[in-house]
Structure 1
């Protein structure tokens, strides 16, 4: 290691990975980074109240991330839309006299529900008002904040949403415009609030704007505001905003961007500047990294791959940030990088793990196991299993149910129990995927004559609902059918029907939906299939034309100059080809130019049919 850093990983594939040295000794778990102690926050347990033994309390605050588990949420009668997660309730509200003002209710998973007690503003406001016994200020704030649209991150927002925007008074950071939610949640809680003003023109109609308060910018504002270091904030956020996105597993020539590595080296591990800002910048782990020299000697002209492009690396970082313990990530990273990269091609040789309760239901490769299952303390629920070319990792980016398995893992982490993950793997892990609106043959179906439910949606959603026992079809095989209960709209209507105990309205809508389907989807599929066929025909003619005319050019160029030769062609392409093949190639080229693979009127019709189908899908 004294001669400079080892070259980082090469792009995708276990065979492309450079050899690793033996795994270095682990950093003791519990070793804190050298950064200054972090003050108590909603993600830090309050000593003495025993929340880890409370099965109704989540393991941590989900903050702005969706929670994929049924959980208790707490509100006040004055601000019913200001929802507080069970963790923040247990750690911040339950030990106070104001606990009597909150009411809890167990609610099903909703990706649009977020904990509003996780922001810097409420963390500052709550102890101040509590000290002054000023409930009215807290209540007014909660009522007001619930009226603001949540930040959409990098997703654009149209003007008709009605978001109020704020910009910097002196434009210290170019194009740094933030939404009202970020202004309320972050900027107003810092001395930097005086640097902002309402955007002078507002968002014009027809334009889409993106909030530039990235995760890094929010953390940096909180960090630098503690010592009122505005210039440092400006410099670092400007620099972070100028960095291009990570190239992922594709990699990039090393000297084309900046790189970072842990100060306690892990051979070959590098993090690009984009991922450094996104995942480590302005956190308790930032000072554990140093810039990586890039030179010819250490392969700076070769392709480097950012190791934070690996999903297990990102999940391990989330756990380390929750625990405020760099050792969690470091220990996981050193193990991740000495295992072959997760693949989905049946050639993985790094070892496999399966559930003790049912080893063949959810197979996990060694790399994903190190960065997910192990870091969250579930390793004792799994056992090593033999290699098998038919095994596929459920956490692979190519796995068809990757998102669902990660959602179940998220639920297991939140509830500190792997039961729901195991149940999902046992019941659904090996089932065929939902075909959605695409007809499939000879599969089992549930439901009735009016609507059908595939076996996957039945097991995952409908089986345990109130109206499920009334459905006559149970595993009926149909020659050709598609699923009716895959979309959020249909599942929402079914949930409403179950709440009322009456499926008549659902059945009526399902019949109407089936009529719209018959009018739209088959016609769309036919037009798109014809367009694809024309495109393939055009590509074939173009390729054949290039090959034939290329051969003709070779023949023509090889003939001696000044001698007479027969020329070939016709009235459309002319008579100047050395071979009949050249004339044929020219004719094919003209034929290809005459094919319109995507016809405007046809595509407009497809768009209209698609809009009609999506209105009921």
Structure 2
């Protein structure tokens, strides 16, 4: 379904407004997003370059790894990491391996591999091997620090002098590639000469068209074939597609693709998602055009907008097993969508081990669990009739508690082959209440010190693994009164780490650092009382003011109407009001004016409260 090129060989395109690409964003991230900040340098443990074990999992590409793992980096470029798979497959057997060193990362912050990027893997590394000039790779990586990352699919304003690229011969009018995408996907390839820097005459707001997953994948694939015409046709076709909203839309308003009849009849994907996630895969030809029924009464939604389908596709691509994907979508396509509203009825699954508050819907089970071959660790839940009538929230729904951690643990289990990484976390935390953060908890277990308490989640998730985690005077004590957790914020956790590093538990250095921490925590709570609690009070007062002002506005309109009626044929010689509200023919007009002033004054007071809340929030953030 490629577009035909006009006679002059150019595609005309008027700049459109595109929404952000939300689908599978983790698989399309930029290497510049994984720069390792200096304040996290304590998570790196140097090791020898040959400490990387063989038989490591496949490259995670742009997916960030948030669990402990061994990574490799080029010396003097500690902000860019190479996974075990890429090191073993491309570097370990080369004569340049001594320029690399292994580091053990804790997973906090999470990092991703930078070697798989086309510019590095397909262009720079072969050149480095041939010339033995490792400095060129190091210079490129260090130069990326100053490159603005691509905001794929989102409009970005570029000022005069900003670096963006266009097609040299304008094969696609208006096609723009940001500096990041040009450096990572185009430069050093057969298509480099097809692009040139765009001279911006003024500030320009535009989308990076190279940032679409389809376009990035295509340029990496077609540069190897030096097939520029095929790239132009595909890039133009992707550029003119409507962005997938993930919601139901009139079926005949866009193009759709489906599997052949009888394979998975309820599955349909919009052309945009097909291009981004299927068109460059080995099984792309398994899909055929779909002819939707006409009219607004036929509403379709894209299957690939569902997270469970994305999980199944990710597993199929990793295993190169399209049959497994088809099996998953046969199940998922006929089910209720997994949303924050929950699902009523249906089949539910949980871990074989005792984990009563962990449950996943049938769709997420098919997409995230069964497609990865992990179904033998799960069992179906037997629900009571009354439970089937109550909406249940799936633990793999993005709005569910600890969704991000569960996903990261599932990836860890799948990557390492150690399912305990997932099950141990789920079993431990399924009974643990969520950290209240700047709120409070009642009738909960607490750890820590008098006046400095840590909630159960933060204790197990963070404090227990530190050197002072076992030396707390308060351990698992239930407080019936409302209490606040004081170790949830990055600032407090950073200071706690400094306390733990001050000296061995019980030493004078450790005691002194701990006392300073307690003093700071007390000051922090004092500022909390003066700011956050005051903000909460002001929010309540603001709501009251807004309601009262709106009510006065309604009454003013009513009085204006009554005043107009009362004025007909009136012979009252008197005027009503004062110099503030003005003079009116009757008391209703005066009252309408007074209420109008009260409305304006009320809304103004509410706005003043907003400014005060912003000021208080700024004070809190200076300490937080």
TM-score of the aligned structures, taking structure 1 as reference length: 0.76
The equivalent of 1:332 in structure 2 is: 328
CA distance in 2 between partners of 1:615 and 1:281 (Å)? 49
User: Separation in 1 of the partners of 2:409 and 2:394?
Assistant: 15
1:359·1:385 contact (CA, 8 Å) conserved in 2?
no
Deviation at 1:201, TM superposition (A): 4.7
Q: Is the 8 A contact 2:67 2:110 kept in 1?
A: no
Three-state SS of the structure 1 residue aligned to 2:527 is: helix
- The equivalent residue for 1:135 is 132
Identify if the C-alpha distance between structure 1 residues 194 and 507 changes in structure 2 by more than 3 Å, giving closer, same or farther: farther
Give me the whole-angstrom Cα distance separating, in 2, the residues matched to 1:348 and 1:307: 20
Partner of 1:12: none
Whether 1:364 and 2:365 are equivalent positions in the alignment is no
Residues in 2 aligned to 1:391 and 1:291: alpha-carbon distance in whole angstroms: 36
- In the other structure, the counterpart of 1:30 is none
Greater shift in the superposed pair: 229-238 or 380-389: 229-238
1:238 Cα deviation after fit: 3.3
Q: Please show how residues 377-396 of structure 1 align to structure 2 within 5 Å.
A: 377-387=373-383, 388=387, 389=390, 391-396=392-397
Match of 2:406 in 1: 405
Three-state SS of the structure 1 residue aligned to 2:72 is: strand
Could you say if the C-alpha distance between residues 390 and 339 of structure 1 is closer, same or farther in structure 2, counting changes exceeding 3 Å? Answer: closer
Cα drift, residue 391 of structure 1: 5.0
Report the more deviating stretch, 519-528 or 583-592.
583-592
**Distance change in 2, residues 1:495/1:177 (3 Å):** farther
SS in 1 for 2:80: strand
Give yes or no for the alignment of 1:615 onto 2:613: no
Contact kept in structure 2, 1:260 and 1:291, CA below 8 Å? yes
Shift in Å at residue 600 of structure 1?
Answer: 4.2
Unmatched runs of 5 consecutive residues or more in structure 1: 1-53, 557-561, 565-569
Instruction: Please state if 1:530 is matched with 2:541.
Output: yes
Map residues 455-534 of structure 1 onto 2, 5 A cutoff.
Answer: 455-476=456-477, 477=479, 479-501=481-503, 502=510, 503-504=513-514, 506-507=517-518, 509-534=520-545
Counterpart contact for 2:355–2:426, Cα < 8 Å: no
For residues 148 and 283 of structure 1, the distance between their equivalents in structure 2, rounded to whole angstroms, comes to 29
Query: What are the residue-to-residue correspondences of 1:534-613 with 2, within 5 Å?
Result: 534-539=545-550, 592=599, 594-596=601-603, 599-613=606-620
- The Cα offsets for residues 202-226 of structure 1, whole Å up to 9 and x where unpaired, read as 997xx98865432222112123323
Structure 2 length-normalised TM: 0.75
Going from structure 1 to structure 2, the CA distance change for 1:419 and 1:55 (only over 3 Å counts) comes to farther
Contact 1:79 1:139 in 2 (8 A): no
1:93-242 map, 5 Å: 93-111=91-109, 113-125=111-123, 128-129=126-127, 132=130, 134-136=131-133, 138-149=134-145, 151-154=149-152, 165-201=164-200, 211-214=208-211, 215-242=213-240
Asked whether the equivalents of residues 128 and 136 of structure 2 are also in contact (C-alpha less than 8 Å), the reply is no
> Where do 5+ consecutive residues of structure 2 fail to align?
1-51, 504-509, 571-575
Deviation sequence 1:255-274 (CA, Å, 0-9, x none)? 22222212464212211233
How many residues align? The count is: 544
Question: Is the 1:535–1:597 Cα contact (8 Å) retained in structure 2?
Answer: no
Give secondary structure in 1 for the equivalent of 2:79. Answer: strand
Structure 1, 184-193 or 78-87: larger mean CA deviation: 78-87
- Alignment check: 8 A CA contact 1:538 1:597 kept: no
Choose which of 70, 89, 92 in structure 2 pairs with 1:91.
Answer: 89
Shift in Å, 1:354: 1.2
Match of 1:291 in 2: 289
Instruction: Tell me the distance in 1 between the aligned counterparts of 2:443 and 2:555.
Output: 40
Q: How much does 1:313 deviate?
A: 0.5
In the alignment, structure 1 residue 257 sits paired with structure 2 residue 279: no
1:246, 1:306 within 8 Å by CA — same for their partners in 2?
Answer: yes
